[in-house]
Amino acid sequence: MSARMPERQTSRALLIGSSRFSNQDLHDLPAVVNNVQALAEALTDPTLGGFDQSGCRMLTDPTTQQIGDQLHAVVDEALDTLVLYYAGHGVLSQRGDLFLAIEGTDPDSRRVHYSGVPMEWFRSALADSPAHNRILILDCCFSGHAAQAMSGTASAVSGKLDIRGTYTLASAPAHQTAVAPVGAQFTAFTGELLNTLRQGVPGGGRLLTLGEIYPALTRALLASGMPRPQRLGTDLADHIALTRNRAYRPATSPAAKPRQASDSRRSATVPSRRVTQEQDPKVAAEFHAAMLEGYRKAKKELNYNAAYFLKMVQEVGGLEAARRLIRASSVSSGFTTLWEKGRLDLAVEAVVLQDRFAGLFTDEEIEIARDRLAAYGYHLPAQTS
């Protein structure tokens, strides 16, 4: 579950922006040109970025043929990570299919399929790609339809145990429009995405993963009154990093206090609470049961099946699973899902902080759990014995 950067030599990014439109019903989006250029700079930054400049291609106001040719090229070349990005107008057909607009697109729902770029092109490109990690980012109206279109591809790889999968990040829900403020340098969604990539996520890991980007992006957009972005990703796709985290700060260990002779004698005869409880089968069993109960509640009350979490608990036990999740370099997709649904009370971190289990974990692990919950706006209610 460790986060990792793309392999620069075998990764590709194709960034597409449509800013000019001949049809009067589609207004121009001059900020889209800035989107593409700035996103390319962030992804290929020599210090922070995960892509080589030669592996990051930009298309602004392309033709259908140019898009098809470049999709074919990057699909063939990308072996590790493939990123496809489009910014512009999204248009729905009469059947509700999503088309991406280019300069000559007719937005009439009866005719858009003759002049727009089908979302199916992107889905097929990602499904056919040999790349281990496949990422689709759409900044356009109705882009939430992409998550629906990509669901088949994601489910095909959701059972893998390495970092492998498809991750879709969309600027707006399936039936909402995206926002491009008049006169702004960037569109709202890509502007906040760039802020996150450039500034990093305080308290996050060394690498800026999709699992950390999405919550930070969501909080910023909602605080500005913008639509909630949508995502779809396998459990492990959340651990794909796009850049290094500029805001990362290594944890500093507090200075060790001198040990008094009486403490030394006491520690030799009286085991710590953590060691005592860890060796107590009853306490360990209670914690394991609490982890499984959280899974059951999420499935019953939220219709969320945390299959990867359940597999981990069954294979290594609740205590070891909790320690791995707590010490992971980024938050899990399950944590993000519970945060989205307003139920962080079911998160592993909340179970760890229950008074009856506190002695099973080190002070550092407890602090990580508390800080992570606080960073996402959740504070445990007062506990009663």
Q: pLDDT for 109-155, tens place per residue?
A: 999 999 999 998 998 898 889 998 999 999 988 765 555 554 443 33
227 and 313 housed in the same domain: no
Give the span between the Cα atoms of 324 and 136, in whole angstroms.
28
Q: Are residues 224 and 75 in the same domain?
A: yes
Cα(385)–Cα(382) distance, integer angstroms = 10
The answer as to whether 254 is a domain residue is no
Statement to judge: residues 292 and 237 lie in one domain: no
**Vertex 27: Cα angle to 23 and 29 (nearest 5):** 125
Is residue 334 in some structural domain?
yes
Residue 1 falls inside a structural domain:
no
Number of domains, the chain: 2
Q: Look at residues 198, 226, 244 and tell me which one is the last residue of a structural domain.
A: 244
The proportion of the chain whose per-residue pLDDT surpasses 70, expressed as a percent, equals 81
Shared domain check, 331 and 205: no
Residue 174 phi/psi, 5-degree rounding, is -60, -30
Whether residue 382 is contained in a domain is answered as: no
Average confidence score pLDDT of the chain: 82
Per-residue pLDDT averaged across 245-264, rounded? 57
What was the pLDDT predicted at 155?
Answer: 33
- Closest by alpha carbon to 61, among 98, 103, 112? 103
Please check whether residue 34 lies inside any domain of the structure.
yes
Same domain as 296, residue 162: no
What's the predicted TM-score (pTM) here? Answer: 0.73
Among 194, 225, 244, residue at a domain's last position: 244
Q: What is the spatial order of strands in the sheet that 12-17 belongs to?
A: 56-60, 12-17, 81-87, 133-139, 165-170, 230-233
Tokens representing 209 are 């993963």
Give the integer Cα–Cα distance in Å for 147 and 267: 55
Tell whether 162 and 76 lie within a shared domain: yes
Locate tokens 């979490």: which residue?
A: 309
Same domain? For 27 and 175 the reply is yes
Shared domain for 23 and 145, answered yes or no, is yes
Q: Would the pLDDT of 309 be above 80?
A: yes
| CA distance to 69, 126, 136, per residue, from 121 (Å) | 11, 9, 12
Instruction: Say if 383 falls within a structural domain.
Output: no
pLDDT digits (tens, 9 = 90+) for 264-276: 333 333 344 444 4
Based on the fold, state whether residues 209 and 344 are members of the same structural domain: no
Instruction: Answer whether residue 381 is part of any domain.
Output: no
Domain that holds residue 371: 271-375
Q: How confident is the model over 151-204, as pLDDT tens digits?
A: 443 333 222 222 345 788 888 765 555 566 677 899 999 999 999 999 999 888
- Tell me the C-alpha distance between 290 and 186, whole Å: 46
Give the CA-trace dihedral at 149, 153, 156, 159, to 10 degrees: -90
Q: Which pair of tokens denotes residue 16?
A: 């597409």
Last residue of a domain, one of 207, 228, 244: 244
Rounded distance between C-alpha atoms, residue 178 and residue 127, angstroms: 26
One domain for residues 219 and 84: yes
The pLDDT-based confidence of 225 (bands split at 50, 70, 90) is confident
Rounded Cα–Cα distance for residues 192 and 196 (Å):
6
Look at residue 229 in the predicted model and tell me its pLDDT: 87
Rounded distance, CA 36 to CA 30, Å?
11
The encoded tokens of residue 238 equal 């959340």
- Rounded CA-CA distance 82/3 in Å is 16
| Distance of alpha carbon 138 from alpha carbon 16, whole angstroms | 10
| Residue whose tokens read 């088949």 | 152
259 within a domain of the structure (yes/no): no
Q: Are residues 135 and 229 in the same domain?
A: yes
Output the 3-class SS for the chain: CCCECCCHHHCEEEEEECCCCCCCCCCCCCHHHHHHHHHHHHHCCCCCECCCHHHEEEEECCCHHHHHHHHHHHHHHCCCEEEEEEECCEEECCCCCEEECCCCCCCCCCCHHHHCEEHHHHHHHHHHCCCCEEEEEEECCCCCHHHHHHHHHHHHHCCCCCCCEEEEEECCCCCCCCCCCCCCCCCHHHHHHHHHHHHCCCCCCCEEEHHHHHHHHHHHHHHCCCCCCEEEECCCHHHEEEEECCCCCCCCCCCCCCCCHHHHHHHHHCCCHHHHHHCCHHHHHHHHHHHHHHHHHHHHHHCCCCHHHHHHHHHHCHHHHHHHHHCCCCCCHHHHHHHHCCCHHHCHHHHHCCHHHHHHCCHHHHHHHHHHHHHCCCCCCCCCC
Closest CA to 312 of 304, 322, 302: 322
- The CATH code of the domain that includes 152 is 3.40.50.1460
Residues 275 and 240 placed together within one structural domain of the fold: no
